[in-house]
Structure 1
Amino acid sequence: MTKAIPTARPERRNEFLLLTANALRFTGKALVSNPTTLIGTFIFAVIILLAVLAPIIAPYDPISQSIINRLQGPSWGHWLGTDYYGRDILSRLLHGARYSLVIGILSISLAVVVGSLIGLVAGYCGGKIDIVIMQIMDVVLAFPALILGIILVAVLGGSVVNIIIAIAFTAVPAFARIARAPVMTLREREFVQAGRALGFSDLRIMFRHILPNIVPEIIVMASLWMATAVRTEASLAFIGLGIAPPTPTWGGMVREGFENILDSYSVALFPSLAVLILVLALNLIGDGLRDAIDPKLGTNS
């Protein structure tokens, strides 16, 4: 009686989990290896926690108006003051953090998936396919991210979904380029040539053998571009192309504060500081991840 030969399917099923665990392990080591990165991670975690708990810890309804109390400075009743309509600035900041984080995370996640796939295909196939794809990416890169975002949001509208799509579209070429460069080198490596000799399909080689090797570069790029996404969303809201009021967004609050800055400095100051702190935290995280993936960059800076 012959025994059945065990197949490698269970091992293949575990490959994705193993690759994900390795990527998370790399990210975790990078985050704890640099004091400034720890500071950025702590700030980012606090902002996420405040955003999640906003409905519980916010002292007032973020859209409830009180004309009698409008444009008040910081006080015991309103720790950060009130805006032109008497709404509590602290409550609006806490709720507005949700939109900044959701738009930043989802837009960059979408850009990572689409841009990485485009760069992976372009770098692996090469030739005319690579030339055509990258020329299209160069055309998109020719437009500044904010200008392109303004055009797209003006055409699509100022909803959350449309803003996410617009910001993701502006970031796709950057991720395509960051993925393409290492793929062009990896496709000539011995393990890829061995896979071809064994009859592996191109899809298997790309997704199981090449893609895991470019994950660290993509993670670094994602952390840095998330800060750009937050700034872009705030800029769109500031010029009136963001989420429609009275929904609280940090960019919209900065715009309202700018219009009333002579009457009360706090209306513009605290939303601006919130954007600054979030962008700073994301940049600290991105710098730490970059130094972890290439220590030479940290020693030269």
Structure 2
Amino acid sequence: MAERNPDLAVPVALGPRLAPAFALEAWSRLLRFVRREPLTAACAFIFVAIVIVAIFAPWIATHDPLAGDPRARLQGPSADHFFGTDAIGRDVFSRVVYGARVSLLVGVAATLAGTVIGAIIGLITGYLGGTVDLLVQRVMDGIQAIPALVFLLLVAAIWQQGMLSVVVVLAVLIAPYVSRLVRGVVLSLREEAFVLAAQAMGARPLRIMMVHILPNTLAPVLVAASIIAGGAMLAEGALSFLGLGIPPDDPLWKTSWGAMLKPENLQYFERSPYLVLFPGAALALTVLAVNVLGDSARDRLDPRLRGTL
């Protein structure tokens, strides 16, 4: 009889036990995290729930968010309309559900675009310095001096009002902030020994920036992006409230939380406060969750800034 190799039997014997042990350890870590940081855990749960709602909006919404029923206008919350109906009989719950898509998409798209553009500008100008750095930073100062509302009006004159114009405006306004952040990090790293060694070995500037400097800027950039995203969502809500963002009856995106807070709904506040309370609460909870998660990420990735705003 062939002799059994004991080394081959170990994985077979331990295999069935590994999965329960791993699951138990993961569950134990999750419970410790909830007990240690209950606010962060609650905000993470809220954010995940909102993401799920945004993804599965067509299945969660109980009515067509754009279809109005004049016979059901300004009805209060009920079994048929969980959040009531608006002035033209549209289901508020369904509009709030679809509004999650707009806020999340604008927050992610504008933050991603603005962060990437700003990081590239800050990386190049911080490393090269000189006249290029001076000229680009003055341009960044000029952009930051333009009020967002004025800039959006300028973009609206070129592009049709909608998602693209909002994302472009917010991305352009985000880029200077990220550029300054990355530039400051690059200036502090430019004279470090590992950068000087790479230069002495004949490495090209592009390689030095991408391989040696860029990885050291990721932590502060990720922290800034997580905090900026909440502000981008809030800015989109404000622009839509003013009628300069997502149209209230957009055939593609359906609606926006900011558009649901439009002044026309405020005149019904005493009679039907839910028209404003539900979309306002959804926007506030989302921004709060994103900001708290960003603050938590900052404490972990950059402990020097722990507890600061």
TM-score relative to the length of structure 2:
0.83
Written as runs of structure 1 = structure 2, the 5 A alignment for 1:16-31 is none
Q: Is the Cα contact below 8 Å between 2:57 and 2:98 reproduced in 1?
A: yes
Alignment partner of 1:101 out of 99, 104, 108: 104
Q: SS where residue 88 of structure 2 aligns?
A: coil
Written as runs of structure 1 = structure 2, the 5 A alignment for 1:144-155 is 144-153=147-156, 155=158
Corresponding residue number in structure 1 for 2:301: 293
Q: SS where residue 285 of structure 1 aligns?
A: helix
Question: How many aligned positions are there?
Answer: 272
Letter paired with 2:303: P
Alignment partner of 1:44 out of 28, 43, 47: 47
CA distance in 2, matches of 1:132, 1:93: 45
Alignment partner of 2:66 out of 63, 66, 73: 63
Q: Residue 198 in 1 paired to residue 198 in 2?
A: no
Corresponding residue number in structure 2 for 1:73: 76
Shift of 1:233: 0.8
Larger displacement relative to structure 2 (221-230 or 238-247): 238-247
Letter paired with 1:220: V
Cα distance change of structure 1 residues 144 and 211 upon mapping to structure 2, 3 Å threshold: same
Q: Is the Cα contact below 8 Å between 2:76 and 2:272 reproduced in 1?
A: yes
CA distance in 2, matches of 1:278, 1:261: 22
Alignment partner of 1:85 out of 76, 88, 92: 88
Corresponding residue number in structure 2 for 1:170: 173
Corresponding residue number in structure 2 for 1:10: none
Corresponding residue number in structure 2 for 1:248: 255
Letter paired with 1:254: L
Q: Residue 133 in 1 paired to residue 141 in 2?
A: no
Q: Residue 114 in 1 paired to residue 117 in 2?
A: yes
CA distance in 2, matches of 1:64, 1:55: 14
Letter paired with 1:293: L
Letter paired with 1:249: S
Letter paired with 1:292: R
- Structure with greater Cα Rg: 2
Greater relative contact order (Cα 8 A, min sep 6): structure 1 or 2?
Answer: 1
Corresponding residue number in structure 2 for 1:185: 188
Shift of 1:266: 0.6
Which structure 1 residue ranges, 5 or more long, are not aligned?
A: 1-29
Letter paired with 1:159: G
Q: Residue 270 in 1 paired to residue 278 in 2?
A: yes
Shift of 1:193: 0.9
CA distance in 2, matches of 1:221, 1:296: 14
Corresponding residue number in structure 2 for 1:159: 162
Q: Is the Cα contact below 8 Å between 1:71 and 1:86 reproduced in 2?
A: yes
Which structure 2 residue ranges, 5 or more long, are not aligned?
A: 1-32
CA distance in 2, matches of 1:276, 1:161: 23
Aligned Cα RMSD in Å? 2.1
Cα distance change of structure 1 residues 112 and 32 upon mapping to structure 2, 3 Å threshold: farther
Shift of 1:153: 3.5
CA distance in 1, matches of 2:35, 2:143: 36
CA distance in 2, matches of 1:276, 1:155: 31
Identity of aligned residues (%): 39
CA distance in 1, matches of 2:231, 2:307: 25
